[in-house]
Amino acid sequence: MHALTKIEEIIQGVLSGDRRNIAKAITTIENNTAETQKLISSIYPHTGKAHIIGITGPGGSGKSTLIEKIIRKYRQRGKTVGVIAVDPTSPFTGGAFLGDRIRMQELSTDQGVFIRSMATRNYRGGIAKATKDAVKVLDAAGKDIVIVETVGAGQSEVEIIKVAKTIVVIFAPGLGDEIQAIKAGMMEIADIFVVNKADRENANKAIMDIQAMLQLNNKEKTWKKPVLKTTALTGEGVPQLIERIEEHKHFLERQLEHKRSREKAEAELIEAIKEKVATSMIEKLKREGKFEEFLKKILKKEMDPTSAAEKLLNEKFRNKV
């Protein structure tokens, strides 16, 4: 029996739920080392059991406080929970301030909860892929629930949240045009809407506003998107929210899960192929000097980039044949 390599140790650790190795595994994914692919392929067969919940909402919505309550409720029911909290990397400095776990800190010592903060960085393959892979780690490690938290403002956040099976969007009344602040794409893919800080005066108005929007947009006629009220500070409304999440989970299992899973897997495969093809093609063209040749033409304005790409690829494929 040979001694385990570092990555094998990590893989084994993940599959047995060891926290140190879960952390190292996620770091491996973040750093996209030579071992990352081995890690993912090893754990992939063990994924698919966790229910993945995406939770997003504008700053000030009380999202983090609500997530803390949600985790507690799941823990009361004996479920284990993993959390990935995503925050933006500064485009200027490359650094990031990861402060989401502050509201969940009391749960950090609960051995049934694993919280990890991730920055969007400048991932090859995008943050969405890195998040997806980190979720796979928590899934394979045996977590019953995996929560992905983002601030729902940008396009990439829409992509991140698509990793989830149930998507919850949280608002708070009186923050301004919060409904407008959420990307249009997010409104459509969301499965459950929550108005937090429901003890505020304009809570009911916020609920009506969202319901009005849903009337116009509700395409998926089979799952009626609920609009719920919560007060995260006291925990009011949280059991009902969990119920709805569970309902949605069962709905998926019964109806569309197969279709969604297929759609998701297809999207992932296409992305992976695109990534691999583009990477290897560009590397080749650079090695052969063709890349530089055509780049010079573009700079001299002899050719636009799209035509250059077409020419390069036509040449490549003609040679193959």
Partner 1 sequence: MQNERKIRVLIAKPGLDSHDRGAKIIARALRDAGMEVIYTGLRQTPEQIVETALQEDVDVIGLSILSGAHRTLFPRITELLKQKDLTDVLVVAGGIIPEEDVPEMKELGIKEIFGPGTPTDKIVQFVLENIPKRT
Partner 2 sequence: MFNKEKINEITKERERWENTTLPKWMGNRPERKNEFRNHSDTLIKRVYTPEDIKDLDYMRDLGFPGEYPFTRGVHATMYRGRLWTMRQFSGYGTAEQTNQRFKYLLKEGETGLSIAFDYPSIRGYDPDHPFSKGEVGVCGVAVASLKDMEVLFDGIPLDKVTTSMTINGPAAMLLAMYIAVGDKQGVPREKLGGTMQNDVLKEFFAQKLIIFPPKPSIKLVTDIVEYCTKHVPRWNPISISGYHIREAGANAVQELAFTLYDGITYVESCLERGMKVDDFAPRLSFFFAAHNDFFEEIAKFRAARRIWAKTMKERFHAKNPRSLWMRMHVQTAGFTLTAQQPLNNITRVTIQALTAILAGTQSLHTNSFDEALALPSEEAVRIALRTQQIIAHESGAADTIDPLAGSYYIEYLTNEMEKRAMEYFQKLDDMGGAIPAIEKGFFQKEIADSAYKYQREVDEKKRILVGVNDYTTEEERPIKVLRVNPKVEEEQVARLQKLKRQRDNRKVKEVLEKLHYATEEDENLMPVIIDAVKAYATIGEICDVLRKIYGEYKELIVI
Name the residues that contact partner 1, by CB under 8 A. 6, 19-20, 22-24, 26-27, 30-34, 89-90, 93-99, 101-102, 105-106, 108-109, 114-117, 119, 121-124, 279
Helix axes 19-31, 6-15, angle to 10 degrees: 120
Of the two residues 110 and 268, which places its CB atom closer to partner 1 in the complex?
A: 110
CB burial readout 89-126, b (16+ within 10 A) else e: beeeeeebebebbebbeebeeeeebbbbbbbbbebeeb
Angle at CA 272, nearest 5°, toward 38 and 21?
A: 30
What are φ and ψ of residue 95, in 5° steps? -95, 175
In angstroms, give the least distance from the CB of 90 to partner 1: 7
Region of 57-65, 121-129, 238-246, 283-291 interacting with partner 2 (CB under 8 A): 57-65
Instruction: Check residue 72 for interaction with partner 2 (CB under 8 A).
Output: no
Instruction: Check residue 233 for interaction with partner 2 (CB under 8 A).
Output: yes
In angstroms, give the least distance from the CB of 70 to partner 2: 16
Give the SS3 label for residue 246.
Answer: helix
Residue 5 contacts which entry, partner 2, partner 1, none (Cβ below 5-8 A, type-dependent): none
In angstroms, give the least distance from the CB of 195 to partner 2: 15
Region of 94-102, 181-189, 248-256, 269-277 interacting with partner 2 (CB under 8 A): 94-102
- Cβ(196)–Cβ(66) under 8 Å? yes
- Residue 26 neighbours by CB distance under 10 Å: 25
Tokens of 56: 């997003």
Residues forming contacts to partner 2 in the complex (CB under 8 A) are 59-60, 65, 97, 99, 102-103, 174, 233-234
